[in-house]
Chains A and B, each alone.
Chain A
Amino acid sequence: MATIKLDAKSPTGPIENRWEKHKFDLKLVNPANKRKFTIIVVGTGLAGGSAAASLAELGYNVKAFCIQDSPRRAHSIAAQGGINAAKNYQNDGDSIYRLFYDTVKGGDFRARESNVYRLAQVSTQIIDHCVAIGVPFAREYGGMLDNRSFGGAQVSRTFYARGQTGQQLLLGAYSSMMRQVQEKQVKLYHRREMLDLVLVDGVARGITVRNLTTGEIESHAGDAVVLATGGYGNVFFLSTNAKASNVTASWRCHKKGALFGNPCFTQIHPTCIPVSGDYQSKLTLMSESLRNDGRVWVPKNKGDQRPPSQIPDSERDYYLERIYPSFGNLVPRDVASRQAKFRVDEGRGVGTTGIAVYLDFRDAIQRLGKGVVAEKYGNLFQMYDKITGEDPYETPMRIYPAVHYTMGGLWVDYNLQSTVPGLHVLGEANFSDHGANRLGASALMQGLADGFFVIPYTIGHFLASTPLPKVDENHEAFRASKAEVTQRLSRLLGIKGGHTVDEFHRELGKLMWEYVGMSRTKEGLQKARGEIGKLRDRFWQEVRVAGEANFKNAELEKACRVADFLELGELMAQDAQERNESCGGHFREEYQTPENEAMRDDANYCHVAAWQYQQEGGRMQWTLHKEPLQFEYVKLSTRSYK
């Protein structure tokens, strides 16, 4: 195995000039030559859709692959709250530097300063461009764009379109991409799932996909591969991610040499509708904004079975207000999530399962009136009612934390290139900008920044500076990959055991949630590593995958994904065990203050953990590489919300 030297290619010099200088230093592909290159874009959410559109606009030939029946359905669509940008339209003191500062601090000092500064810089162009392509953002009466506030910031910099900002931005990127499909600059492949990355002479030159309609295994060659396939929260089985969200594309690249950065950094969102039974297939988020007026509580006494309305105030524990008097119910996501878990662990959880806490609007309704509360949160109350059959105007919501986003992902340098030459990774699929905790309304910003305003520049440099001999789908590497994929599918179908794919996935999810979830310990993680390995062995002996390979087969699709989740889960546990500190969404019980707050260890863990996959004697192994993080502008400090 070749030794790997992690070169982040971060520019130096004054931070505000780095991106400008870097862009000038990048090589260009002249307009006439762009049409000679084919770029493969996998995933058509905010990052992939915007990348496909802008690369095609430049004149590159783009082949875009999406897993759903239409690119308009990517999970970016479900983002509710908004998108941050340092426009300072509210005249409230925002600036590029402030957005940069908030993001580095919000990420608990585990992101690269140069990347985050660039993100803040291009945030303003994103808003300009999205408005120009017809995204109907909320506006004020004078016709100007409206903003709202979000967690982790003291300014109003969040642009929004009601509770459907992700939908409107995705449809904007989608429409730009579809214009390029019409121009024949983008060739769109829908209902395709990437099952392998193809390397020729060590360079990413194509992919192997399964056509989900016909079952055919297809090869696609190009000059570079752009991966924008989202996060891996579904390793927990239950999460707020869409059902098709999975790690397979990233994982296959990882196994072909792309290092995986900070796999244990997972965001657990505090306000989701709790699990109600074994049949549960996914969890639904209730926007963070509800904590502006809702009060979180549990009964003071264990096992109090009374309906909430019959528990007097004196017997309620408004625990966030008690523990964090200055931030109260508005503490950051990671803190609110952990405290809810502590209450449930104490036996004071509510609802029929006992795994929930109350989010109560009684006082807000008394103070503001039902009309005002309905105006602010009406659509969320209605969504809650639809799912639970309970009216939150009458009885408190039951909420519990759920997996929502993964900050970790494939390691990339400043050019968004992975450790595999030619393989570029965008959006949630990379590890880059959010450190150990992502701030609200920053995921949409990063996806569009990467796709619209970073990759169009950096990929040109790769194409102009790398010898790329002509390669097509008949190359031996494509045939070998196709054979390997076909063989894996046959193997899965041939097991014919007694357990369904979902049974294994649920079991994995329970292990992950118990030991690699909100609160982790050295022993628990050790146990998880062993148990996940055993579960994986059982999967390959006892799973039953129905149907055949040569037609639409959802069970086979799921089986491929769960097989990869069963490997990823083990790496996540190993990474969490290796990181002997608590930071952001990663909470190790051994590393906390006497007040149960996260305790970072900057002397030993101020780095990106990038894991290299190896197969040694039939066993999977990972080697840790460290990218040290330097903080030249934002001083390392401890977050406190007391």
Chain B
Amino acid sequence: MGGASKSKLNLKLKLWRQKNAKDKGYFMDYDVKGISTEASFLEMLDVVNEELVKKGEEPVEFDHDCREGICGMCSLVINGNPHGPDGATTTCQLHMRRFKDGDSVTVEPFRAGAFPVVRDLVVDRSALDRVIQAGGFVSTATGTAQDANCLPVPKDKADRAFLAAACIGCGACVAACKNASASLFVGAKVAHLALLPQGEAEREKRALAMVHQMDAEGFGGCTNTGACAAACPKEISLEHIAILNREFLKASLLER
């Protein structure tokens, strides 16, 4: 018979509660019973919330959307790890079979100065949008493009650009970093466009503008500990920070 053996878990949950950005926030304990090991971590929170609503209490707010690991909306620091204990996994893909009956599970928001808490486990990551808007694009207006095959792109470069572009913008790299640096996020975008001929015209301008905006948003500096890459659900490599440094340095030297 298909289907892994099913069982139920009881857990001691410690959830971060915070009314808004100005509120101090605190941990609240919840005893959770009878969670199926087949449920995802977010489905476990759904169950907790439905029970809270029925009891007349306020459910805990958390961000989520696609629930298949691609939109980057879910966040959560679970027992100290952004997106939980598994590598290459977003919170929505984490399943309860990863936990044992009786486990204590602490759930906190992504913490960073540039990510103010909206409510409970929800944070505002619009700083990342503003970094993209500073230069993470190619300035080609609709309708001006030549035939797509006029400009060949070597397969290895296209593949590397894809690996960089696979970043889902969740911010786990920032949450994992002791300095709350966004270098991996910025490096991935700078590398993606630096590897493609289409990004060439704005290459230097882009690196300078994005780094400048990253600093302006209050993200910290990078000290190359690699915590970001270890936490990244899409396994964006640390190499992208090296590319970012190179692009930034080159652009700074060329700047007049």
Contact = CB atoms under 8 A, between A and B. Distances in A.
B24 interface: no
Contact of A57 (B35, B68, B142, B158): B142
A554 B39 contact: no
26 contacts: A70-B72, A77-B66, A129-B140, A132-B148, A133-B138, A134-B137, A134-B138, A134-B196, A139-B155, A143-B153, A167-B168, A175-B136, A178-B133, A182-B133, A277-B39, A281-B46, A282-B67, A305-B1, A307-B2, A358-B2, A388-B38, A396-B2, A453-B142, A453-B143, A546-B53, A546-B56
B192 A68 contact: no
Given A144-B152, A243-B65, A552-B61, A175 B132 contact: yes
B119 to A, nearest CB: 4
Contact of A127 (B4, B148, B152): B148
Interface in B60-91: 61, 63-73, 89
A217 B61 CA distance: 20
Interface string B112-155: 00000011001011101100111011111111111111011111
A181 B55 CA distance: 44
A181 B133 contact: yes
A166 B249 CA distance: 33
B28 interface: no
Contacts of B40: 281, 387
B109 interface: no
B97 interface: yes
A140 interface: yes
Given A280-B43, A551-B119, A73 B198 contact: no
B248 to A, nearest CB: 19
Given A129-B142, A305-B1, A500-B50, A72 B72 contact: yes
B179 to A, nearest CB: 23
A78 B148 contact: no
Contact of A398 (B2, B53, B143, B162): B2
A242 B66 contact: yes
A390 B193 contact: no
A70 B169 CA distance: 9
A73 B73 contact: yes
Interface residues of A, number: 97
Interface stretch (A104-112, A349-357, A566-574): A349-357
Contact of A175 (B46, B138, B196): B138
Given A54-B142, A280-B39, A552-B61, 15 more contacts: A68-B71, A70-B126, A132-B138, A167-B166, A176-B140, A178-B132, A279-B46, A350-B2, A351-B3, A352-B3, A389-B97, A390-B2, A396-B2, A502-B50, A547-B58
Interface residues of B, number: 85
A128 B148 contact: yes
A181 to B, nearest CB: 5
A57 B141 contact: yes
A68 B39 CA distance: 24
Given A127-B148, A386-B89, A386-B93, A136 B46 contact: no
Contacts, number: 254
B165 A73 contact: no
Contacts of A168: 162, 165
A14 to B, nearest CB: 24
A277 B43 CA distance: 11
A483 interface: no
B246 interface: no
B66 A75 contact: yes
A190 interface: yes
A25 B168 CA distance: 43
B15 interface: no
Interface string A224-245: 0000000000000000101110
B52 interface: yes
Contact of A307 (B1, B146, B199): B1
B22 interface: no
B71 A389 contact: no
B212 interface: no
B124 A125 contact: no
B122 A552 contact: yes
Interface string A181-201: 110000010100000000000
Given A179-B137, A190-B126, A395-B2, A136 B158 contact: yes
Nearest to A71: B129
A546 B59 contact: yes
Nearest to B96: A279
Contacts of B93: 383, 386-387
A181 B36 CA distance: 45
A539 interface: no
Nearest to B189: A175
B161 interface: yes
A277 B125 CA distance: 33
B174 interface: no
A73 B72 contact: yes
Contacts of A144: 149, 152
Interface string A43-70: 0000000100110010000000000111
A134 B162 CA distance: 10
A500 B128 CA distance: 35
A140 B129 contact: no
Residue from B2, B20, B57 having most chain A Cβ neighbours under 10 A? B2
B192 to A, nearest CB: 7
B153 A139 contact: yes
Nearest to A69: B125
Interface string B1-21: 111101000000000000110
Contact of A137 (B53, B158, B199): B158
Interface in A521-570: 544, 546-547, 551-555
A136 B162 contact: yes
Interface in A67-119: 68-75, 77-78, 87, 89
B83 to A, nearest CB: 13
Contacts of A75: 65-66, 71
A426 to B, nearest CB: 14
Contacts of A352: 1-3, 6
A129 B38 contact: no
Closest A-B pairs by Cβ, 6 of them: A143-B152, A132-B145, A175-B137, A128-B145, A178-B133, A54-B142
B95 A69 contact: no
Given A132-B140, A279-B47, A142 B152 contact: yes
